[in-house]
Structure 1
């Protein structure tokens, strides 16, 4: 463990000692709750796996303290008081098993969602401190909670903490003076217009979180730890509008000065630690940072917080690089403990791998949100784009095959590499053929920009695993159907990827027309004035890449909105890309299609057949990808056990390329 000693020093939160300074951040386990508000078997296995992986402190998913004042459909969110006996029954053995690994576990208690509750989650109307618009549907006005209802929330918080203690939890975390949830709404003047004891000036607005911690301490004793999920700054530019780092705007939520003012007051009230971050639903890309955010993005704020409080400061915010986490703790200026969220979805053994001094084996999170919160938005269970076994560890793990087989994999993109990795782990003999001189496929161009370097980390991880598993990789080897038939093995997996779609319009073959791949890899020159045809995620990211390089960029999209077709782009990623497009002065021409590429310009046409000419030195085509299925079509039905995976099956994204490969390879 040379070089990572600070991470593995013990730390105390109140009177509870944690074996190391690595915490699991609280993340929603939507889809993994029972109808009675308990933890499903999958949820239990999920937390136990992270304890087994070496995490010192696990902070659970958001758990509601009641389901009457803010009533949600059963099975969405865990709830302590819906059926206390059932809750204890589904958590007590989980807690005992987590303790067997010398890990501690805090139950995160949610006072409510308030204005940020999606109407589809609710039975009835949304509630809030005051009559303010719902975030997801601003045409809906939230009902203002009565004083008696707020007082009942305090009582239910204490009751929930008592239930948690009976179940064996080591402490609770209050959710949250953070991210714009209900309790945070009470503390922020923009949302709280009350005139009773829970409103008014700053001290009035802090009454609710103060009463909650005092009530819990009264019930469970002063030695029972209560941490607070705490956003130092909201980054709210306006209703449903966030502010980017470096952007000048007037903070409408909690500014840093107010955050640093109220923290010591909350500490004095009895909170034993601050699980600190920044952001709000209005600036969700701060609270749930996508790949475009910096690693350690909260550290400048938590450094200021540590100067005004004496209890431990726990910091998340893309702290998944071991060297960053260790350096932060070593310096001691910005955090006492690091919190890992999606990093532990991607690799539950992150702590053990660091402890064993093999950080190169940590499977990196790529900040896509496709497998975690993106799936939650689609009503699907929590998982992870790069770790298909996440939250289904027991049912969907990798187990040794009963007999060894020879597996031929054609294509060295992410799908081919994942299939090779999983098949090799199961004990099969794997040979992978790649026609170019590099592994990676589309992951290569998806890694070139500084804001996409986590994709490069994923590619490096795959290369490391392929090497360690002794997979026979044959580069510069193009395989045709005759080769496959002549060298047929037990199993053939075709992962030949996809190729860019080019619209059939006049001028498409001109020298100034390039694909997004060619532009990103600098395979062809790109002029100063650029038109990107296609406003999907790849087109928008390519436009950002070129704008950051000093180009004058226009995006042409045939639909009314950017990133509105194909697979859904998770909300935090999409809103950040849109805000970055504005910040970098990228022009957008919507409801228009490419009609013709001319010398020095493109002609587009809108839905009313109006034509417009846009100057362009270079035209970048980014209208999608089509599967390269030629080889598969030639051998399918002629050989047994032939599979097609990833983009060769259906062009989608990194997550589905990995998931296809994992599903096939784990059953060979």
Structure 2
């Protein structure tokens, strides 16, 4: 192990509970021990994930947040006693790993509850609203400190929570914590004065306009959180540690409007001055640890940093707040382990929190200890598998129900939280399998085939492995994607997979009857009907080095086009975005944390964006656009980049011995590429 990491592997205490090292698995929805958005039960899939992480040298594990009142079916967490008995049988096995377990309990979501189109329909129709209440009582689930707009929907507002309801929740926290303590859990974490969830909504002035004992003054706004920890200690004793998930600063300008890194703004939530007071106040109330980041759902990119956010984005604020408390403080959010180790060494931090990296690779801490960082499969911060709640103008959460009910899967690791259907099964009859295309899909198929005992052979027409992912990972801020590409190339070497470069396959017939996986990807959609289309530069060509001028029109405001515009701006150029839809990144699968960052960044930096606009002509030195009113107008520019989508380009159709994977079957994203490649390799 690199000696610089040694501070991460020193013991520390939360109250009287000693933790073997400073690595903390922070909670993610979907990694729950008592189920997620389903009837409460001891969840074996969540337990397996927690156990895998604990076995791999993590000091403190925090499963996914557990609502004390389940949004689905209206269950109180403390009512199902059997699942606590099941937990009690499991906890001793977890403790054999040396890890400690804190279960995170949440009061819920309030106005941050993720509303889908289906939920909107249930709410706006009075008959359906009444019929659906026993399954999903949206009025109760979305209740907040005060009437407020939902983060996701214009049609499902939040009503004011009543005082008796608050008291009921406080009692539920205490009783749930008592049962968890009896089951052998080492502590609990209260979720959360953090991220604009329900408890945080009570503390934040822009949400809480109450005039009773839970609103107005500082003490009243924090009363709910204080009463919870006091009730837990009354039920469990003062020696039972209670951590608090805590956002140091809200980084919020208003409803549905965050503040970007470095932006000058007026804070409507918790500013640093209040946070300094609040941290001490919450400590004195009985909280034994602060597990910290920043943000709210209105500024979601702080709590769920996309690739565009700087590394260690929350660390400076967390280090600052540690000066105002005597209890341990943990930081999370794109945290670099080497930077965290240095902060711990200097006494600026007590614990280092990591989450999504554990979805990509549950063994990554062990690999660090064994000095094998190159073997760590990296998280690329895409949210495609774990939190792909997409939101854009005119829609609520545009997410498939299967994704909504099964969070914490991973785009780059098809097995995580899907071990029932994605697991390596040795081949009964090893075969030679030809893979046409050496991009990510082809390499994933080869990797799985080799692990199963087959002999995969990759045929790649280019001179290196990677395919279109070479272009997709080219932007300056996409180091994590380049790390993933390097990981795949290393896997090909480590597994001894036969690779033929500069080998263009003309027909699958040349492989006789041997099985073939086609992973030839997609080709750019070309706007041939637009006069002057030949003057356009294709997106991948720009990403792989084709030069552009100072002012660049990007045609297409989906994710790829917006990322290109962002890169152009970082280079000091002047991008212009032309998009035919009524919003940027109006597509499924792109998490709101990712898309809202880009939308707000373009607005802050005054990048010209033409929505509901189509390209009419490309001229030498300008583009002609047509607005939704049908009128045309000219926009001067030096270069034009086309990013209007891709069309599947399979070498051959699917057949008896031929499988298609990734974009050559259906254009998607990295998750669809990797998962389909894994599944194809398992079918042979």
Q: CA 1:361–1:252 in 2, change beyond 3 Å: closer, same or farther? A: same
Query: How many Å apart are 1:400 and its aligned residue?
Result: 2.7
What is the distance in 2 between the residues matched to 1:521 and 1:596? Answer: 25
Which residue does the alignment assign to 1:632?
A: 652
Query: How many Å apart are 1:79 and its aligned residue?
Result: 5.3
The number of aligned residues is 649
What is the distance in 2 between the residues matched to 1:74 and 1:30? Answer: 20
Match of 2:248 among 205, 219, 232: 232
Q: TM-score, normalised by structure 2?
A: 0.91
CA RMSD of aligned residues (A): 2.1
Query: How many Å apart are 1:488 and its aligned residue?
Result: 4.2
What is the distance in 1 between the residues matched to 2:146 and 2:536? Answer: 54
Structure 2 residue matching 1:60: 3-state secondary structure: coil
Which residue does the alignment assign to 1:354?
A: 368
Q: TM-score, normalised by structure 1?
A: 0.93
Structure 1 residue matching 2:433: 3-state secondary structure: strand
Match of 2:101 among 100, 105, 109: 105
1:433-448 matches, cutoff 5 A: 433-448=459-474
Match of 1:44 among 44, 47, 53: 47
What is the distance in 2 between the residues matched to 1:14 and 1:587? Answer: 53
Match of 1:494 among 481, 496, 518: 518
CA contact (8 A) 1:596 1:603 kept: yes
Moved more, 302-311 or 270-279: 302-311
Query: How many Å apart are 1:430 and its aligned residue?
Result: 2.1
Structure 2 residue matching 1:579: 3-state secondary structure: helix
What is the distance in 2 between the residues matched to 1:176 and 1:341? Answer: 17
Match of 1:191 among 198, 207, 213: 207
Q: CA offsets, 1:296-334, max 9 Å, x none?
A: 111111110121112111111012x4433433333332x
CA contact (8 A) 2:77 2:172 kept: no
Which residue does the alignment assign to 2:17?
A: 16
What is the distance in 2 between the residues matched to 1:477 and 1:179? Answer: 51
What is the distance in 2 between the residues matched to 1:374 and 1:189? Answer: 29
1:529 aligns with 2:551: yes
1:25 aligns with 2:26: yes
What is the distance in 1 between the residues matched to 2:49 and 2:639? Answer: 49
Unaligned regions of 5+ residues in structure 2, if any? 120-134, 390-396
CA contact (8 A) 2:445 2:680 kept: yes
Match of 2:342 among 323, 327, 336: 327
What is the distance in 2 between the residues matched to 1:157 and 1:184? Answer: 16
Unaligned regions of 5+ residues in structure 1, if any? none
CA contact (8 A) 1:45 1:392 kept: no
Which residue does the alignment assign to 2:394?
A: none
What is the distance in 2 between the residues matched to 1:430 and 1:215? Answer: 60
1:59 aligns with 2:57: no
CA contact (8 A) 1:179 1:281 kept: yes
1:301-316 matches, cutoff 5 A: 301-316=317-332
CA contact (8 A) 2:329 2:350 kept: yes
CA contact (8 A) 1:499 1:628 kept: yes
Q: CA 1:535–1:60 in 2, change beyond 3 Å: closer, same or farther? A: same
What is the distance in 2 between the residues matched to 1:201 and 1:419? Answer: 59
Structure 1 residue matching 2:292: 3-state secondary structure: strand
What is the distance in 2 between the residues matched to 1:205 and 1:26? Answer: 25
Q: CA 1:30–1:563 in 2, change beyond 3 Å: closer, same or farther? A: farther
Match of 1:128 among 144, 160, 163: 144
Q: CA 1:199–1:592 in 2, change beyond 3 Å: closer, same or farther? A: closer
Which residue does the alignment assign to 1:449?
A: 475
What is the distance in 2 between the residues matched to 1:53 and 1:392? Answer: 19
Query: How many Å apart are 1:151 and its aligned residue?
Result: 2.2
Query: How many Å apart are 1:87 and its aligned residue?
Result: 3.0
